[in-house]
């Protein structure tokens, strides 16, 4: 009996996303997305990498399913590319798009693996961006139409649906910081996008319920655990603002039907207002069946006037770093999910992404001895077990990612996979971290 033992019904999985793995960017009627445009814009993506081919999973999905089956996962989280279903985002349906995902879903089910589908993982049809994208409330209607098409096409086969992935990245990272597509740098625009995406989430949940679709629906937010470096009130307040930027700004509307007032006031001080229309907050707070949490890192902060958006500077306290220069802070996973449970109640939680980027080397024998990544997973699995033991309703864990893939603005340089992708041949090579996770799944645990 392993010293760390998980419940038999704990859902182990891995995660990917359409633009990051599929390639075939212009095949079978797929329309252009904002990431096709952004990756083609000089200077936006390291080495000018694009998702044109990526891992070629569009043609190699059967290989991916075989890797998943061998890994022993119960579920696989992937996203549907909206531009494959509605190439212009609205208008005429592209049946070949639906046909592709039907093959993936049927292949997973034949392998005994539950498909977990993310509807929006950042590849907005460019034609909608040309009309204002998520700043245009009509995009909400187009999203619900796309979601209803997917719900109806795969009802009974897909039992777990995620509306949005990381709305903070879709809004602030992509429209204020500007590091992701479409690359705007306007705070009011980012607040508008965050709000409209959350309304779109709520409208999709309403449609899911109205259509009587079977299974469960939720959404995924990337939560960051950020603590004050000292107990000084100004440090506590500054760190809380920085945490709320990622966390409460999205979780409070989803579960409390209101934005955190101290953050609304802070944004108002920056001349930014939330474009709430009558009924929006009730729509956003539609009851959901689970919350997906993507967790990667955390840190410490203290007050520093004029620093960033929240007068808060990060304090380096000596954490080990990943190749993304992110702190390895496994205790942060325990703290943030304990906080979710205390703050938002007994909503079932799935860790829909957790993983680490490290430099990998493929040996002549086709091995990748990624001990640091395996250790990262082990440290975070220990926290998952701690959370379950403490009564937090943690129901599953999806490792990011099954494959090395297109890591957005970092291109192919940054590898998060438990399977190495050779970008010359598109051959896949399971890493040592894959073997570690395989053994954890097989034993429902491990020796700490």
Ligand X SMILES: CCOCCOc1ccc(-c2cn(C[C@@H]3NC[C@@H](O)[C@H]3O)nn2)cc1
Annotated catalytic residue, options 22, 248, 313, 353 = 353
Residue-wise DSSP of 133-194: GGGSTHHHHHHHHHHHHHHHHHBTTB-EEEEEE-HHIIIIIIIII-SSTT----HHHHHHHH
Q: Does 220 bind ligand X (CB under 6 A)?
A: no
Q: Does 173 bind ligand X (CB under 6 A)?
A: yes
Active site residue 343: no
Residue number with the shortest CB distance to ligand X?
Answer: 179
Query: Distances from the Cα of 200 to the Cαs of 178, 194, 207, 251, 336, in angstroms?
Result: 22, 10, 10, 15, 26
Q: Does 11 bind ligand X (CB under 6 A)?
A: no
Residue-wise DSSP of 318-373: ---B-TT--B--HHHHHHHHHHHHHHH-S--EEEEEE---------TTS----HHH
Q: Which is nearer to ligand X, 386 or 428 (CB)?
A: 428
Q: Which is nearer to ligand X, 6 or 310 (CB)?
A: 310
Give the torsion through C-alpha atoms of 419, 424, 427, 428, to 10 deg.
0
- β-partners of residue 315 are 300
Q: Binding to ligand X (CB under 6 A): which residues in 152-171?
A: 165-166, 169
**Binds ligand X (CB under 6 A): choice among 57, 219, 222, 247:** 222
> Hey, how many other C-beta atoms are within 10 angstroms of the C-beta on 248?
22
Q: Does 179 bind ligand X (CB under 6 A)?
A: yes
Q: Does 34 bind ligand X (CB under 6 A)?
A: no
Neighbouring residues of 282: CB distance < 8 A, sequence distance ≥ 6: 202, 257
**Binds ligand X (CB under 6 A): choice among 53, 66, 177, 435:** 177
Q: Does 353 bind ligand X (CB under 6 A)?
A: yes
Q: Does 17 bind ligand X (CB under 6 A)?
A: yes
| Minimum distance of ligand X from residue 19's CB (angstroms) | 8
3-state class (DSSP) for residue 31:
coil
Q: How many residues bind ligand X (CB under 6 A)?
A: 15
Q: Which is nearer to ligand X, 6 or 350 (CB)?
A: 350
Q: Does 294 bind ligand X (CB under 6 A)?
A: yes
Catalytic residue set: 353
Applying CB under 6 A, which residues contact ligand X? 17, 20, 165-166, 169, 173, 177, 179, 222, 294, 296, 353, 400, 407-408
């Amino acid at each position: 009996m392993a010293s760390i033992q998980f419940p038999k019904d704990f859902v182990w999985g891995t995660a990917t996303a359409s633009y990051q793995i599929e390639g075939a960017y212009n095949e079978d009627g797929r329309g252009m997305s904002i990431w096709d445009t952004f990756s083609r814009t000089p200077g936006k993506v390291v080495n000018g990498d694009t998702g044109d081919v990526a891992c070629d999973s569009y043609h190699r999905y059967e290989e991916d399913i075989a890797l998943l089956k061998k890994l022993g996962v119960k579920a696989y989280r992937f996203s549907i590319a909206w531009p494959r279903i509605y190439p212009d985002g609205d208008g005429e349906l592209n049946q070949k798009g639906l046909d592709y995902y039907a093959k993936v879903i049927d292949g997973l089910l034949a392998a005994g693996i539950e498909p977990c589908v993310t509807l929006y993982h950042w590849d907005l049809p460019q034609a909608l961006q040309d009309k204002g994208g998520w700043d245009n409330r009509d995009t909400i209607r187009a999203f619900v139409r796309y979601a209803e098409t997917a719900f109806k096409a795969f009802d009974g086969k897909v039992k777990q649906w995620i509306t949005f992935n990381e709305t903070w990245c879709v809004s602030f990272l992509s429209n204020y910081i500007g590091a992701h597509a479409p690359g705007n740098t306007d705070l009011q625009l980012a607040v508008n996008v965050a709000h409209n995406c959350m309304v779109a989430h709520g409208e999709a949940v309403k449609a899911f319920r109205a259509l009587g679709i079977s299974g469960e629906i939720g959404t995924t937010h990337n939560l960051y655990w950020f603590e004050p470096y000292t107990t000084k009130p100004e440090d506590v307040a500054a760190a809380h603002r920085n945490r709320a930027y990622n966390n409460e700004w999205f979780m409070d509307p989803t579960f409390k039907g209101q934005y955190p007032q101290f953050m609304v006031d802070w944004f108002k001080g920056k001349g930014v207002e939330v474009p709430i229309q009558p009924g929006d907050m009730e729509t956003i707070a539609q009851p959901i069946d689970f919350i997906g949490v993507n967790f990667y890192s955390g840190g410490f902060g203290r007050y520093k006037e004029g620093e960033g958006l929240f007068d808060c500077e990060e304090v380096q306290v000596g954490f080990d770093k990943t190749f993304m220069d992110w702190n390895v802070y496994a205790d942060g996973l325990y703290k943030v999910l304990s906080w979710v449970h205390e703050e938002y109640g007994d909503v079932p939680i799935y860790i829909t992404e957790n993983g680490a980027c490290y430099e990998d080397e493929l040996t002549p024998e086709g091995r990748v001895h990624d001990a640091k990544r395996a250790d990262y997973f082990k440290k975070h699995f220990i926290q998952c077990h701690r959370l379950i033991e403490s009564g937090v309703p943690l129901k599953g864990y999806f490792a990011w990612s099954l494959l090395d893939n297109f890591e957005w603005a970092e291109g192919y340089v940054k590898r998060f996979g438990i399977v190495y992708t050779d970008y010359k041949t598109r051959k896949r090579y399971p890493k040592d971290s894959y073997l570690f996770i395989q053994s954890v799944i097989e034993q429902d645990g491990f020796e700490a």
